[in-house]
């Protein structure tokens, strides 16, 4: 009995010793772990704890602004809210409410949150109302970020020229793309702290601040851009045309004052449009210039010394054979002097001059005025046009090129060439940027005497007997040339029912301030440049010249009856805008209210047309009617 009791006591003692040993070992291990945590891993653990409460975020910098020549904003970056999250910190019970606030499905939100435990965008560049709904939920791990969104105040008016910017802040088309490097800023790095619930604490610390991009200033004048766009849109509407483009240049220094295309697209919502609508027709689309080439054929003939303005040429009563090719005039014309060839737009007269002086002389002049080469503005997508080398010209090609067939040009090239005529025969490289003006010296390509003679012919071509008489605004002397060209088809010939209507003009002709080229693609009511494109030119000039301080002329009712006098111009600061084109509905309502006008509105978006065309004729109580288009 005693042995059994001793054994039991020994067993109990050993169990107690084992438990005590285990407890002692546990205490030792805890001590070792405490030493390890407190001394060996303290810095590492402090870092982990810090990471739970401190995060670093890259912040985008605003792009530089794009300004017109007077410093008015054409494109700028504005701050808009975006919603982001640390995905691993968003509790499941918040998903339904968060999806509803964002206006997306639960499944879509879960997909975003499941891709990572770290930073994730939930919705970028959202309306303020959405940001307010999300903020009201106070969801740990979800926060509002400020991003930079590109905004162009003139919308469709400058869309083709400026292009647009993607959601990541990178330029995708137009000037935004070509000068993306200069416009893009340098991102910043921000360090922020969070509390135990994951909410951001105020007063983050900049590791380095974002640096805005470089602003650039264009030669574009926002007012003339609006005038040109509105005139083009209205002209195309009247003609039910497929499209068109306008270029306005200042000939003395090559400044491009306006460059517009139609149909327009709103770069602020560019995803709503087909990529084919994004292109800048004024530099990408080439066309056969038709009779707008004739002034340069005449200039080449006069330069040769073999022709004078009074030289007579027989126009073969409307039909002439060159090799196995037949050239036609619209009218049966007989003997004409060189001025008459331009006024009556004789293909045969132009062809005879070109054949007489030869292909080399004509090619040299076309090259000198800028055809067959890119303009040098730096715009991406610009076409060099098509002008074959003269060794590839036979008699037929020489005759055709004389009146604008067999060559292809862009509206910008044609404007550049007419600027040579407006600038006393000197070529000035076209410029789109203010800091480029004057960098390239003008070079003479046409003699002063020949240039003056061609200018007189261009003015005669807009007279009552000329094809361009509808281009003349009241009170101004202008010069220009119409063009009507069949469009090439896909079979190597010409379409029988598709035409381009063109007008290229200079205003005023005695002191050129503007060169304007208008191209209308496939007009339906009329195919002729004098009927289709010339009125668009007139509308642009009659609004742009007063804006520039160039007044119309009126008959002097004083002692010199029949003479002309210049009307006084009021201080420009007191003038009404030349046109409402490009204004938003809010701006138009403000204008109408300020001047006591009754407003009648059609459509939405930006003003493309107004009635009456001239605001100066309106008096208090009159009706102002506007048409808007997105």
Q: Which of 365, 387, 386 is nearest to 301 (CA)?
A: 365
Q: Which of 144, 143, 141, 163 is nearest to 152 (CA)?
A: 163
CA gap 517, 539 in Å, rounded: 12
In the set 77, 223, 261, 291, the catalytic residue is 291
CA gap 343, 192 in Å, rounded: 74
Give strand pairing partners of 190: 57, 206
CB 627 within 8 A of CB 603: yes
CB 60 within 8 A of CB 147: yes
Torsion on CA atoms 237, 242, 247, 248, rounded to nearest 10: -10
> What's the Cα-to-Cα distance from 127 to each of 166, 191, 505, 630, rounded to whole Å?
17, 26, 46, 20
Q: Is 515 left (phi over 0), alpha (psi -120 to 50) or beta?
A: beta
Strand spans (E) along 508-593: 514-521, 553-555, 564-566
Label the pairing between strands 119-123 and 73-86: antiparallel
Give the pair of three-digit tokens for residue 84.
Answer: 């982001």
Give the pair of three-digit tokens for residue 108.
Answer: 């879509």
Label the pairing between strands 598-602 and 623-629: parallel
Measured CA angle at 414 (ends 410, 420), to 5 deg = 150
Strand order in the sheet with 205-208: 54-59, 188-193, 205-208
If you ran DSSP here, which 8-state letter would residue 116 be given? -
DSSP 45-68: HHHHHHHHHEEEEEEPPPPPPEE-
Q: Which of 10, 145, 156 is nearest to 82 (CA)?
A: 145
If you ran DSSP here, which 8-state letter would residue 576 be given? P
Q: Which of 369, 402, 367, 372 is nearest to 385 (CA)?
A: 372
Radius of gyration of the chain measured on its C-alpha atoms: 36
The question of whether 291 is a catalytic residue gets the answer yes
CA gap 87, 583 in Å, rounded: 44
Enzyme catalytic residues? 291
């Amino acid at each position: 009995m005693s042995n059994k009791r001793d054994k039991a006591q020994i067993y109990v003692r050993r169990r107690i010793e084992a438990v005590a040993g285990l407890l002692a070992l546990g205490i030792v291990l805890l001590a070792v772990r405490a030493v390890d945590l407190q001394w060996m891993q303290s810095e590492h653990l402090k870092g982990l704890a810090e990471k739970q409460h401190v995060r670093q975020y890259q912040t985008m910098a605003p792009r530089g602004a794009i300004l017109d020549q007077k410093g008015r904003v054409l494109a700028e970056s504005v701050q808009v809210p975006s919603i982001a999250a640390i995905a691993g910190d968003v509790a499941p019970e918040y998903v339904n409410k968060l999806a509803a606030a964002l206006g997306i499905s639960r499944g879509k939100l879960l997909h975003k949150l499941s891709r990572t435990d770290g930073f994730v965008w939930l919705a970028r560049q959202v309306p303020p109302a959405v940001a307010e709904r999300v903020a009201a939920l106070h969801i740990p791990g979800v926060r509002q970020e400020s991003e930079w969104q590109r905004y162009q105040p003139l919308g469709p008016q400058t869309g083709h020229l400026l292009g647009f910017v993607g959601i990541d802040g990178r330029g995708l088309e137009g000037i935004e793309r070509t000068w993306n490097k200069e416009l893009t800023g340098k991102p910043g790095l921000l360090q922020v702290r969070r509390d135990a619930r994951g909410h951001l604490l105020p007063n983050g610390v900049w590791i380095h601040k974002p640096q805005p991009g470089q602003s650039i200033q264009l030669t574009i004048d926002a007012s003339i851009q609006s005038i040109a766009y509105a005139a083009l849109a209205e002209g195309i509407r009247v003609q039910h045309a497929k499209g068109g483009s306008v270029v306005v240049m200042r000939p003395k220094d090559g400044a491009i004052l306006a460059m517009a295309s139609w149909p327009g697209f709103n770069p602020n919502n560019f995803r709503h449009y087909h990529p084919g609508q994004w292109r800048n027709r004024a530099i990408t689309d080439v066309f056969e210039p038709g009779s707008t080439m004739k002034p340069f054929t005449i200039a080449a003939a006069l330069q040769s010394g073999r022709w004078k303005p009074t030289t007579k040429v027989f126009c073969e009563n409307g039909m002439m054979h060159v090799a196995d090719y037949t050239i036609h005039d619209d009218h049966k014309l007989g003997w004409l002097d060189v001025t008459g060839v331009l006024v009556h737009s004789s293909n045969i007269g132009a062809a005879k001059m070109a054949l007489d002086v030869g292909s080399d002389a004509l090619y040299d002049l076309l090259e000198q005025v800028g055809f067959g080469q890119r303009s040098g503005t730096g715009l991406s997508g610009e076409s060099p046009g098509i002008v074959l080398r003269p060794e590839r010209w036979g008699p037929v090609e020489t005759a055709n090129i004389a009146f604008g067939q067999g060559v292809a040009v862009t509206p910008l090239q044609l404007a550049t060439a007419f600027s040579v005529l407006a600038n006393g025969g000197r070529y000035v490289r076209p410029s789109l940027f203010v800091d480029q003006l004057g960098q390239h010296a003008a070079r003479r390509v046409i003699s002063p005497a020949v240039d003056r003679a061609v200018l007189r012919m261009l003015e005669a071509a807009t007279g009552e007997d000329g094809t361009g008489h509808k281009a003349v605004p009241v009170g101004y002397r202008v010069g220009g040339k119409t063009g009507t060209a069949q469009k090439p088809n896909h079979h190597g010939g010409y379409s029988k029912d598709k035409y381009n209507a063109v007008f290229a003009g200079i205003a005023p002709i005695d002191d050129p301030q503007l060169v304007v080229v208008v191209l209308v693609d496939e007009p339906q009511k009329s195919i002729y440049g004098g009927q289709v494109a010339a009125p668009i030119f007139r509308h642009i000039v009659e609004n742009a010249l007063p804006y520039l301080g160039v007044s119309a002329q009126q008959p002097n009712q004083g002692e010199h009856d029949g003479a002309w006098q210049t009307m006084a111009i009021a201080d420009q600061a007191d003038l009404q805008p030349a046109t409402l084109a490009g204004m938003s509905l809010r701006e138009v309502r403000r204008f109408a209210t300020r001047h006591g006008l009754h407003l009648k509105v059609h459509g939405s978006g930006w003003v493309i047309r107004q009635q009456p065309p001239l605001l100066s004729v309106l008096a208090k109580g009159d009706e102002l009617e506007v048409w808007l288009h997105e």
